[in-house]
C-alpha cells in the first residue's frame, strides 16, 4: 500500500472565493470578520479509496467540523473540499481519513489511510500545511489447532501462515511457534492492512517440506488488535514435497522475504532457526574456519589447494568422516587484501568438495573438512577465506583463519595471505 504523499491543505475547487495578497498569501474574500479558510486538495494515488473524511478540531472550535471531501475522477484523481469561516486561532488539527467504500457499502467504516497536521488560521486568509496519509495496520494473535491425538503432529517441523485480502499487495508469510504437547501453534501476526475480511491460510510441514496439515479461516483485521483461531486438518499421506518460495510484488517487497516493507508493514518472518538480515532469512553455521594455506607466495599459473573446516549440529557430527549433505555448501574465496567478503562484490568464489581423506579426531571429531583447487592467474596480493551454507546456498557464514574461526566474526587480519607474482 502506498503512502498518499504531499496532501496540501490549500485552495482547490473552493466554494468560498479567494484572491492572492500582495505578499503571495491567499486571501479569503467572503470569510466573515475574524475567521479564515481551511481548504483541502488531496491527490488520490490509491484506486482503493472511495471516500475521504476531513475533520478540523481544536483551536477556537468547541465542536469539530467534519465533512466528506468531493472525489473528482480526473485525471488526476483528487479529493477536495473546504471549511469556511473558521475562527482565527492557532493549533488547529486537520485530520484526513480514507475509506475503501462509500457509506452503506461493506467496509464503509474501515479507515485504510490516515493523516493529521496542525495549522494556524489567520483572519481573512487561507491556511496551508502538508499532510502524509499512512496505511492503517492491525495485529492478530493467531492460533492454529491440530486434531486431538493425531500421531503426525510429532513430525511437524514448522507452521506457516499466509494472509491475503483486499489491499494486501503481496502475500506475506509468517511462522508460528509449535507446541507439540499442547497440539497448537501460536504467534502474533503483525502489521496487516486492516480490512473486513482477511483470509488466513495455514500449512504445517515436516523437515522435508512435505505438508502434513492445512487449514483456512476468514476474519476481520482491525487496528485495535484481533484474535484468530484456525483448526487444521490432516492431509497425509503427502502428495509430494513442496518448494516454498516467496514472491514479492513492486514496489515494497520486490527483493525481500522478511522485515519491513518500507512503509511500516511487513514482508514476512523467518523460521525459528533463522534471523532476518537485509531482507533475507539467514541460517548461521554453528562454526567454521579457513584452515590452509595461511601464508603463501605463488607464481602466476600455479594451482593451490585450499582447505576449510566446518561444524553444524545434525550434519557434520554424524561420523568422523565428512558427512555430505545437500544442505551444506562450501566455497573458498579470493579477494582484495583487507576487504570484507560478505559485503564486497570483488571477491571470486570457487566451489569446494569434501576432503575424502578426512578423519576427525580429538576436538575435530565432529568437524568436517572441505577442499578446493584454484589456479592463480592474476598477480597481486589477496585475502583467502571460506564460506559455508547449511540451507543449500541461500545464506552464508564467512570464516577467517583465526583460532576461533567464525565464533568471533570475520576479521581480514586473520584471513589467508596469498601473494601471486
* Mean pLDDT across the chain: 87
First CA to last CA across the chain, in angstroms?
56
Q: Which fold has domain 287-420?
A: Immunoglobulin-like (2.60.40)
Helices (H), ranges, 14-110:
none
Mean pLDDT is lowest, of 124-138, 163-177, 329-343, for 124-138
Beta strand pairing call for 173-179 and 275-277: unpaired
The residue assigned the cell 501453534 is: 185
Interatomic CA distance for residues 384 and 29, integer angstroms? 76
Q: Are 212 and 236 contacting, i.e. CB atoms less than 8 angstroms apart?
A: yes
Which architecture, in CATH terms, is 137-278? Sandwich (2.60)
Say how far apart CA 330 and CA 398 lie, in whole Å: 10
pTM value surpassing 0.75: no
Residue 322: burial class (beta carbons within 10 Å; 0-12, 13-18, 19+): buried
Give, in degrees to the nearest 5, the angle at Cα 338 between 333 and 343.
60
pLDDT band (50, 70, 90) for residue 125: confident
Q: Where are the domains of the chain?
A: 4-134, 137-278, 287-420
CA-closest candidate to residue 68, choices 35, 37, 103, 26: 103
DSSP 155: G
Assign 385 a pLDDT band (cuts: 50, 70, 90): very high
For residue 124, the number of C-alpha atoms closer than 13 Å in the C-beta half-sphere is 7
Reply yes or no on whether the pLDDT at 113 is more than 50. yes
Q: Is pLDDT at 101 greater than 50 in this prediction?
A: yes
Who's near 181: CB < 8 A, 6+ residues apart?
Answer: none
Alpha carbon distance 93, 90 (integer Å) = 9
Q: Write the burial class of residue 357 (CB in 10 Å: 0-12 exposed, 13-18 middle, 19+ buried).
A: exposed
Residue 3 burial by Cβ neighbours in a 10 Å radius (0-12, 13-18, 19+)? middle
Residue 7: per-residue pLDDT: 34
Question: Pick the residue with more confidence: 21 or 173?
Answer: 173
Intrachain domains 137-278 and 287-420 with the same fold: yes
pLDDT tens digits along 275-327: 887 777 888 999 999 999 999 999 999 999 999 999 999 999 999 999 999 99
CB-CB contact of 102 with 108 (8 Å): yes
Give the HSE-up count for residue 175: Cα atoms under 13 Å, Cβ half-sphere. 19
Mean pLDDT across 48-60:
92
Does domain 4-134 fall under CATH 2.60.40? My reply is yes
User: How many other C-beta atoms are found inside a 10 Å radius of the C-beta of residue 26?
Assistant: 19
Contact 116, 75 (CB under 8 A): no
Amino acid at each position: 500500500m502506498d503512502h498518499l504523499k504531499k496532501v496540501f491543505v490549500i485552495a482547490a475547487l473552493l466554494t468560498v472565493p479567494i484572491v492572492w495578497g500582495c505578499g503571495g498569501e491567499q486571501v479569503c474574500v467572503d470569510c466573515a470578520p475574524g475567521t479564515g479558510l481551511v481548504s483541502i486538495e488531496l491527490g488520490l494515488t490509491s484506486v482503493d479509496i472511495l471516500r475521504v473524511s476531513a475533520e478540523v478540531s481544536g483551536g477556537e472550535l468547541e465542536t469539530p467540523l467534519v465533512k466528506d471531501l468531493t472525489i473528482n475522477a480526473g485525471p488526476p484523481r483528487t479529493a477536495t473540499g473546504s471549511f469556511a469561516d473558521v475562527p482565527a486561532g492557532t493549533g488547529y488539527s486537520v485530520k484526513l481519513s480514507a475509506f475503501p467504500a462509500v457509506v452503506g457499502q461493506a467496509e464503509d467504516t474501515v479507515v485504510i489511510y490516515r493523516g493529521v497536521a496542525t495549522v494556524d488560521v489567520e483572519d481573512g486568509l487561507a491556511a496551508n500545511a502538508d499532510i502524509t496519509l499512512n496505511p492503517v495496520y492491525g495485529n492478530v494473535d493467531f492460533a492454529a489447532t491440530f486434531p486431538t491425538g493425531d500421531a503426525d503432529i510429532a513430525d511437524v517441523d514448522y507452521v506457516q501462515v499466509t494472509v491475503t485480502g483486499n489491499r494486501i499487495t503481496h502475500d506475506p508469510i509468517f511462522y508460528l511457534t509449535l507446541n507439540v504437547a499442547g497440539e497448537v501453534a501460536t504467534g502474533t501476526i503483525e502489521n496487516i492492512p486492516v480490512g473486513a475480511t482477511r483470509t488466513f491460510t495455514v500449512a504445517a510441514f515436516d523437515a522435508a517440506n512435505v505438508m502434513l496439515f492445512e487449514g483456512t479461516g476468514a476474519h476481520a483485521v482491525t487496528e485495535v488488535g484481533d484474535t484468530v483461531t484456525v483448526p487444521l486438518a490432516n492431509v497425509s499421506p503427502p502428495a509430494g514435497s513442496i518448494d516454498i518460495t516467496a514472491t514479492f510484488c513492486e514496489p515494497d517487497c520486490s527483493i525481500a522475504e522478511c522485515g519491513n516493507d518500507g512503509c511500516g508493514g511487513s514482508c514476512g518472518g523467518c523460521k525459528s532457526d533463522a534471523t532476518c538480515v537485509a531482507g533475507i532469512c539467514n541460517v548461521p553455521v554453528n562454526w567454521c574456519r579457513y584452515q590452509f594455506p595461511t601464508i603463501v607466495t605463488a607464481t602466476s599459473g600455479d594451482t593451490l589447494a585450499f582447505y576449510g573446516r566446518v561444524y553444524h549440529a545434525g550434519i557434520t557430527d554424524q561420523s568422523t568422516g565428512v558427512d555430505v549433505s545437500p544442505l551444506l555448501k562450501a566455497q573458498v574465496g579470493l579477494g582484495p587484501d583487507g576487504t570484507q567478503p560478505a559485503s564486497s562484490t570483488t571477491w571470486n568464489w570457487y566451489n569446494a568438495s569434501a576432503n575424502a581423506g578426512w578423519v576427525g579426531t580429538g576436538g575435530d571429531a565432529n568437524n568436517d573438512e572441505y577442499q578446493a583447487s584454484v589456479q592463480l592467474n592474476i598477480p597481486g596480493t589477496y585475502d583467502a577465506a571460506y564460506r559455508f551454507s547449511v540451507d543449500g546456498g541461500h545464506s552464508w557464514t564467512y570464516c577467517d583463519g583465526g583460532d576461533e574461526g567464525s565464533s568471533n566474526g570475520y576479521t581480514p587480519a586473520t584471513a589467508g595471505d596469498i601473494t601471486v607474482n
